[in-house]
Structure 1
Amino acid sequence: MSSFRLMRQSLLSVIVMITLSACGFQLRDNYQLPATLQQMQLQSVSSLQLEASLRQRLLTAGIQLSDQAAADVAQLRVLSDQLERRTLSLFESGQVAEYELLYRVNYQVIRNGELIIEDTIEVARDYQDDPNFALAKTREREMLVAEMRDDAARRLVRQMISEFADD
C-alpha cells in the first residue's frame, strides 16, 4: 500500500513540474549575487521613473545601495535613457495607425576606478494608435512606456549580475 502512495506522489510531482514548465513559469529576480556586487552606488539617472525602477530591482536582487562613493563599491552610472517612436503603418487617410516604441538605456559600471561594463539596453514594443480614442490611447502609451522602463531596469540588473558572476 505504501508503494502505491509513493508512486502516486511521484506521479503527481512529475505532472506538476511538467505543467509549470509548460506554462512558462519561472522565478524572477532570484539571483546568486556575486560578492563584488553586495553594495553599489546609483548615479546620474535622468528619469525619476527609471531611477525608482532601478532602485527597486537592485534592492530586490539583494544589492545594498550606498549614497557615498568608495573605492570598493561598484558604481552604476546611467548615461542616458531615450524613447523613440517610429511609424510602422498608416491608415488610408494618411494618419498613423501603428508605432514602434523603442526605449534605450546607456549605462556603465565602474569598480575601483576601472570601467567594467559599458552597454546599452533596448526594449521595443508595438503600439496601435487610433485618433478616435486619443485620450485612451495616450493613457495606454504611458502605461506601455512605464512597463518598458521596468523591463529595461530588470534586464540591466540581470545583465550586470551575469557579467559580474563570470569574473
Structure 2
Amino acid sequence: MTSACGFHLRGDYLLPDEVHEISLTSFDQYSSLTRDVQKQLRMNGIRQVAPTTVTPSLDLISESLNERTLSLYQNSRAAEKELTYNVSYSVLIPGHDLKTYTTTVNRNYLDNPLTALAKSVERDMIEEEMRAQAAEQILRQMARLKADDAPVETSDVITHDDETESKVTTKEVIKSMSTTAETTQ
C-alpha cells in the first residue's frame, strides 16, 4: 500500500533508466566534492564507467566558496558570516541536449575571535556539510531529468482554434493539460 501512495525513503531519487551507469569527470578528480558525488552515485546504485559516446556523463565544472559579513561587533570585527558554496556541473545524456546547472548552498555561522581554533574547526565542518548537501542536490537534479529532458516528438495531435489547424508537440499537450488541471484546482 505504501508504494501506491508515492512514499519513498529520503535519498531514494528514482533516477531515469538511462542513468543506471554514468561517467564522472571533474575539475579535480581528488577533491572532496568529487568523492561526495561518487558516494551519492554508489548509494543510488549507479555504476561509474569510463567516458564513451553512448553513456551519460556528469561533468563537475567548478566549485567556489564565498564569504559575506552579516553583522559586526562593536570593535568592527565580523560577528556573523554567511558562507555560499556554488557548484557548476553539466549532464549529457546521449540523444538529449547538454544541460548545465548550478547548485548553491548557504550557511550562517558566528565568528568569535576569542575562540579562533574552535571556530576554524567549526567552519571546516560546515564546509564539509555544504559539499555533501551539494552532492545530494546534484543527484536530486538528475532525478528531475526524467521529466525535464524528455525528447521532443511531434505527434499527430491537431488542435482546432477558430477554423485553424496546427500540429502540437506531445510535450506542449502535456504541459497545457497540467496547467489546466492546476488552474481548476
Which stretch of the first structure deviates more once superposed, 74-83 or 110-119?
110-119
Number of equivalent positions: 141
| Contact 2:89–2:102 (Cα < 8 Å) also in 1 | yes
Matched, 1:48 2:31: yes
Q: Distance in 2 between matches of 1:130 and 1:82?
A: 24
Work out which structure has the larger RCO, using CA pairs closer than 8 Å and 6 or more positions apart in sequence: 1
Matched, 1:65 2:76: no
Q: Distance in 1 between matches of 2:15 and 2:147?
A: 8
Which residue identity is paired with 1:97? A
Give TM-score scaled by structure 1 length: 0.79
Deviations 1:14-66 (A, max 9, x none): xxxxxxxxxxxx72221323111011011024361101100000111111101
Q: How does 1:69-88 map to 2 (within 5 A)?
A: 69-88=51-70
Which residue identity is paired with 1:48? S
Secondary structure of residue in 1 paired with 2:98: strand
Identity %: 36
1:148 matched residue in structure 2: 130
- Structure 2 portions without partners, runs of 5+: 1-7, 151-185
- Structure 1 portions without partners, runs of 5+: 1-25
Secondary structure of residue in 2 paired with 1:33: coil
Give TM-score scaled by structure 2 length: 0.72
Which residue identity is paired with 1:161? A
RMSD: 1.6
Matched, 1:99 2:81: yes
Q: Distance in 2 between matches of 1:82 and 1:113?
A: 31
